[in-house]
Amino acid sequence: MQSSSWRTKVWPNRRLMLNNCLLFLGFFFTITFVRTTYFQPGDSYSYDLQSSISYKTFFQHLQSYSYPVSCQKLFEGDPNEIQHANNLLRNKTNSYSAISNEKYHVPKSLCINYRSERFNQPFHYRDSSVNRQFPIAFTILLHDNVEQFERLLRLIYRPQNIYCIHVDSGAERAVFESVRSIAGCFDNIFLTNKRERVLYATFRRLQADLNCMEDLLKYPSWKYLLNIAGSELPLRTNSELVKILSIYRGFNDIEGIWRNRNVHRFEYVFKYNNNTRGTHESYISRTDERKKPPPHNISIFKGSAYGVFSRGFVNYIQTNPIAKDLLNWSQDTYSPDEHVWATLNYNTHLKVPGGSKAQTDPAKWTGRFCNWGEYRCHGAIIRGICVFGTADLPLLAGRHELIANKFYLKVDPIAYQCSEELLVNRSKFELPLANAQIYRQMSFLSSP
């Protein structure tokens, strides 16, 4: 009787333990499968040259070739490393091979895999509380080269920011479809519905930015807007941008030139030409008809097509009658994208949000670093501007501007690769803002 009683008590306990073990093992294998399939971080952004993780990938074909160079030595200007890099670029075996636009099309069913493989840095899915409380809006304009666009996006993407993409209406269908499929994998990236055929020096270039600005105002969280071209790269991390824009406390950072403002661009009426396949200069031509003076006693300033715009400034552009009158007046001028922002910002009688009085001519700003011939160009000079090369990296490392213009993968992929590597590595740490005093001493911050 005692033995029978013992078995009666023990066997149910054993059966219960067995069931619990089987339940635990089933739960463990389920979690392992989900983690491996969907959430295992990929190695497609392998800047530290780590060995690749052996698991199934869907987007390995988007991994760009990594040149065997020491980016640290290149940024330090090591002559032997620069020579080594130049030899690699001249070697046809290692020549840059573009990834076709079609290959960037992401099926909706693979969005989770795409993000886990291509947007796999910690800052892609979480950020500091300070950064989360300071969302930034971006507009990105492009007409080709989805590879370069995606690499730029991976550098600037943060979950709290908002991104509006304008794909030129004249772009190849594969460009538009691929960019749209990438944007479709994110809640905070979208394509503007109003697409322009952007032609050099015409109002359409400005209109592309205006279309995205209109769309972005529907999102209430962001505090500043930066407009970027697909051929640019940031010089500052997102954390550094937040620190700098916090210092700017609502002021705009916009280039302004008065003395050399190219008055010939707006003294006469310009008209569009039917030729949209010729040189850039053939899209628009000057007539003999003189333009009327600008409305509202406005003085025209020259500036850049790019800038750092406060939310109030963007809202003013979209809603204020004076801003709309200036935009209408600028329709038949030459390259209005290079005078509208500056004109609104520096005409202090307009009292534009974030506007300021120009303290110097040209006005100091930090929005862009472009080499128009002030420094030796080690890459290629295209339409008067330097496309940065590998030997330009020491110069870029010492700049305090926010964004550098411009880079082409086909001109120098090593310069692009090392600029990526530096920014990604710096983004992994919450570092003090270097040269913070430069930003605190910007003249527009003391504008009356």
SS percent in the chain: helix, strand, coil, step 5: 45, 15, 40
Which residue do the tokens 């205006």 mark?
A: 210
* DSSP SS3 for 288: strand
Which residue do the tokens 């869907």 mark?
A: 58
Residue 338 annotated in active site? yes
Which residue do the tokens 């509380």 mark?
A: 129
388 close to 412: Cβ distance less than 8 angstroms: yes
Distance between CA 370 and CA 286 in Å, rounded? 27
* DSSP SS3 for 230: coil
**Token digits for 406?**
């411009």
237 close to 427: Cβ distance less than 8 angstroms: yes
**Token digits for 227?**
């407009």
Length of the chain in terms of residues written = 448
Distance between CA 259 and CA 338 in Å, rounded? 15
184 close to 106: Cβ distance less than 8 angstroms: yes
DSSP state for residue 367 in the 8-state scheme: S
CB atoms within 10 A of CB 53: 11
195 close to 220: Cβ distance less than 8 angstroms: no
221 close to 162: Cβ distance less than 8 angstroms: yes
Q: Which of 147, 255, 338, 401 is catalytic?
A: 338
Distance between CA 107 and CA 114 in Å, rounded? 9
Distance between CA 91 and CA 252 in Å, rounded? 45
From its phi and psi, is residue 142 left (phi > 0), alpha (psi between -120 and 50) or beta?
beta
* DSSP SS3 for 436: helix
Single-letter amino acid code for the residue at 275: N
Distance between CA 39 and CA 46 in Å, rounded? 17
Long-range contacts of the stretch 78-82 (C-beta < 8 A, 24+) = 82/390, 82/391
How far from chain centre, in Å, is Cα 447? 29
Active site residues: 338
